[in-house]
Structure 1
Amino acid sequence: MQRRFFLASMSAVALAASFPVQAATQDMAPLRIVVPFPPGGATDMVPRNMQDALSKLLGQPVIIENKAGAGGSIGMAEVARAVDGNTFGVATLSTHGVNPAVYKKLPYDAVKDFVGVSEVVKAPGVIVINPSVIPAKNFAELVAYLKANPGKVSYATPGNGTIGHMWGAQFIKSTGVQMVHIPYRGAGPAVNDVLGGQVPVYFDQVASSLPHVQSGKLRAIAVSWGERLAVLPEVPTYKEVGHPELNDPSWFGLVAPRSTSPEQIARVQKAVAQVLQDPAVKKRMDAQGLYVSGTSSAEFTQQIISEVGKMKTVAAAAHISIE
């Protein structure tokens, strides 16, 4: 453990030495990154993988706060209201694509209240089952089991209006099965109940359930990615099993309140881009089923606008609407 900590620290120092540290423009106050979901899920892993290196590059402390609830809406609403210039949020396809499409009332506007800083990673989705509850060994056997037990099997997601919810609804429509949705307050609690057998099927990013799949406690059935994943080489993509419409991955990025200065946004975006070049950061992300990307502020802002429109189409087709 000490050796791993030492190596991670040395990596962060080396990264900082490779790029000139930019002077802090906010009197060295901590840079706060709000994660709108509980600890333990993919949304939480993304900023924590970058935290130390980002702090050294920016020349100021970086703190991460989890503000969970309402499918990420509580945390993102807090980010939208911030006016200190040092508060950023982890945006996801759920918070900045699905939520605006499914919630009739949302305490923030995904487009008007934020400026995109950068997409950070893309994240393949996965459907996993508890093999002690459902004996299916593959996609075809799972679908056959669900069709033999219509409406008797529940599936877990990180919450109403999350991408897991959308993936579950799309799976049901694509396969013609019947399942009951059980929303949780984040990926961590959802995975815990799937491990316990209370809910046998789970839809979310690979990162949240990967350790449990690798340990054999959960069984991965299919992933939403362009090709098989190095971390799950035996698991087919949805396209391979005949459902290419389910093959789109998710993504995570950083956003800032609309009130944040362009100079501060550019400063953080540049630091994020540099962190994502660090081989140690990339290796940690890869091992967790997260794949670094990186974009400009303008590109990520436009991406959010496009995703909101796309998810509204998906939500309408799946008849998903939340009060």
Structure 2
Amino acid sequence: MKPFNKPLSFSLNLGLALSLAIGLVGSVLGAPDQDWPKKPIVAVVAFPAGGSTDSFARAIAAPLGEALGQSVIIENKPGAGGMIGLSAVARAAPDGYTIHISGLTNQAIASALFTNAPTDLRTNFVPVALIGTVPHLIVINPSVPAKNLPELIAFIKSKNGQFNYASQGNGSLSHLEAELFMQRIGAKGTHIPYKGSSFALPDLIAGNTLMMFDSVTASLPHIQSGKLRPIAIAATERSPLLPNVPTMGQDGMKQFDVENYYAVYAPKGTSPIIVAKLEKEIRKILTNPDFKARMANQGIQPQFANSEKLGQLTTAEFSKWEKIVKSANIKID
């Protein structure tokens, strides 16, 4: 009697069918990522319009949208040192249609300052690309009789705590810089937090607050118009746009410099295919000479790093600012 070979044949046919089915399913599942984007992308900014984060985000959004073939729409969600906007993106679907254009340094500081931070960039996000830095500086109302950092310190001390100073909000870099500055000079005033530069600067210009750490980008128009006076740059180098304004180190306060990083992130679970597409197009934008020149005129310094390097930088920034906040004993409930 001949052996019955049907089971073997059936097994082979079943195996082939399963392989084809798995390949087909994989192709179907991968198709949405390969075809992304098919609709506009929302880029959440955790600060209001008019500040450096918003300015940088809008500058990136237009060419990024052109490159991807879909609009990139900026959505401002300010408040709580950037935590409101950050939390909104963390809750978004990881489908590539919601991204976060972030002030990395601000978010690292907010995470360290808030005792119950709801989320952070390390645990709920995928790094996409570093996009650059924007230096901060001390600006004052011109009525303040101080032309440099030593004179400002002397004036602040003469007020015996009877003065207000502004910040971009509780938990922001602007806030922490001011707190560290007051500690360094042994002074105490009243901190007035705002929801970003665009809300803080009018009060500073009106004389309702004495000083503020702000971005060069947001303050520059008011400096040029004479409504604000720059005192010192809180960075390692002077700004090309304000060459006569010294760094804080050059004006006597050593080791007070900050690299104020900005970057793009996506919600955790976003496809590597989508992240790679975003990273590729962002690299092209940041290395374009015309874009770099345009940003330089706004006090923005484009700087690219890929997803992997941004992940490393994010971890390093969180570690750095956790140590600084702990040593300064500053907390926000």
Asked whether the equivalents of residues 105 and 261 of structure 2 are also in contact (C-alpha less than 8 Å), the reply is no
| C-alpha deviation, 1:177, in angstroms | 2.6
Match of 1:10 in 2: none
Distance 1:292 1:24 in 2: 28
Pair 1:108 & 2:147 matched: no
RMSD: 1.5
Equivalent residue letter for 1:75: G
Match of 1:167 in 2: 177
Match of 2:51 in 1: 41
Which shifted more, 221-230 or 23-32? 23-32
Match of 1:87 in 2: 98
Which shifted more, 87-96 or 150-159? 87-96
| C-alpha deviation, 1:179, in angstroms | 2.3
Asked whether the equivalents of residues 34 and 273 of structure 2 are also in contact (C-alpha less than 8 Å), the reply is no
Residues 202-228 of structure 1: per-residue CA shift (max 9 Å, x gap): 112211111111111100100022222
Match of 2:267 in 1: 257
**1:308 aligned to 287, 308, 318, which one?**
318
Distance 2:286 2:37 in 1: 25
Match of 1:125 in 2: 136
Residues 139-198 of structure 1: per-residue CA shift (max 9 Å, x gap): 111011011112112111110100001111111122223222111111110111111111
Equivalent residue letter for 1:230: P
Distance 2:170 2:321 in 1: 14
Q: TM-score, normalised by structure 1?
A: 0.89
Distance 2:283 2:272 in 1: 16
Asked whether the equivalents of residues 148 and 251 of structure 2 are also in contact (C-alpha less than 8 Å), the reply is no
Pair 1:215 & 2:225 matched: yes
Distance 1:123 1:194 in 2: 21
Pair 1:232 & 2:242 matched: yes
| C-alpha deviation, 1:57, in angstroms | 1.1
Match of 2:108 in 1: 97
2:222 partner SS = helix
Asked whether the equivalents of residues 37 and 186 of structure 1 are also in contact (C-alpha less than 8 Å), the reply is yes
2:214 partner SS = strand
Distance 1:294 1:166 in 2: 26
Pair 1:25 & 2:25 matched: no
**% identical equivalent positions:** 39
Distance 1:144 1:315 in 2: 26
Listed as ranges, the matches of 1:124-163 within 5 Å are 124-132=135-143, 134-163=144-173
Residues 4-56 of structure 1: per-residue CA shift (max 9 Å, x gap): xxxxxxxxxxxxxxxxxxx9733521121100111010010011112221111
**2:200 aligned to 177, 187, 190, which one?**
190
Equivalent residue letter for 2:210: P
Residues 211-256 of structure 1: per-residue CA shift (max 9 Å, x gap): 1111111001000222221100110001101223211231111111
Match of 2:306 in 1: 296
Equivalent residue letter for 1:99: A
Structure 1 unaligned runs (5+)?
Answer: 1-22
2:243 partner SS = coil
Asked whether the equivalents of residues 130 and 217 of structure 1 are also in contact (C-alpha less than 8 Å), the reply is yes
Equivalent residue letter for 2:211: V
Asked whether the equivalents of residues 36 and 67 of structure 1 are also in contact (C-alpha less than 8 Å), the reply is yes
Equivalent residue letter for 2:202: N
1:112 partner SS = helix
Distance 1:226 1:101 in 2: 23
Match of 1:70 in 2: 80
Asked whether the equivalents of residues 241 and 299 of structure 2 are also in contact (C-alpha less than 8 Å), the reply is yes
Distance 1:159 1:27 in 2: 34
Equivalent residue letter for 1:112: T
| C-alpha deviation, 1:96, in angstroms | 2.7
| C-alpha deviation, 1:280, in angstroms | 2.4
Distance 2:238 2:40 in 1: 40
Distance 2:37 2:64 in 1: 17
| C-alpha deviation, 1:277, in angstroms | 1.5
